[in-house]
Amino acid sequence: MIAVVPMTAEHASDVLRIYKHGIDEGDATFETDVPTWEVFDATKLPEHRFVAVDDMRDADADVDADVNAGAVLGFVVASAISKRACYAGVVELSVYVAPEARGRGVGGRLVAALIASTEAAGIWTIKAGIFPENTASLALHARHGFRVLGRQERIGKTAAGVWRDVVLLERRSGVVN
């Protein structure tokens, strides 16, 4: 079973480990270094961040042997896009799933939890920027009502000096007016 729960400092090492996988794989972020928990924590909205955990491991269940009960399988966070009051209802999301947990619906559960929390808080738009090569993430977002706004070409360079494009997406709430 997978449970989605609010992210706390107790999850820090697992969250940063999963984030490092995303950095190392090269198709999730321009970042090259994992921040400290304090830096990570300070830049994410506390009421809009969740982890997926394996809450009960059934010995007969068909799950990856690398996943243990209580293990953090992935996380989703929201960040403010601006301090200006007119953008108070707009956030940007980041979602990461541990390699050993992919294909189990973890990302979908996390995005659904974030949508529910942001809509309950009156947030009307969730934005995302995704590398075009990250087809799994693009498909995940599409399943949750995100639409493609466009593509920023050569918007940033990797540490190796390679220019990358980013597909811009948004999900406009059907609940918050």
CATH 3.40.630.30 fits domain 2-124: yes
Look at 51-55, 115-119, 157-161 and tell me which has the smallest mean pLDDT. Answer: 157-161
Q: Where are the domains of the chain?
A: 2-124
**Which of 95, 79, 82 lies closest to 40, judged by CA?**
79
Higher pLDDT: 77 or 63? It is: 77
The band of 56, judged by pLDDT with boundaries at 50, 70 and 90, is low
For 64-108, what is each residue's pLDDT tens digit?
445 566 899 999 999 999 999 999 999 999 999 999 999 999 999
Identify the helix (H) or strand (E) that includes residue 113: helix 106-120
- Mean pLDDT, the chain, integer: 92
Identify the pLDDT of residue 160.
85
With 0-12 / 13-18 / 19 or more C-beta atoms within 10 angstroms meaning exposed / middle / buried, residue 63 is middle
End-to-end CA distance of the chain: 35
Structure tokens at 47: 């009421």
Q: What is the pLDDT of residue 63?
A: 47
Tokens of 141: 């977002």
Mean pLDDT calculated for residue range 35-57: 93
pTM given for the model: 0.90
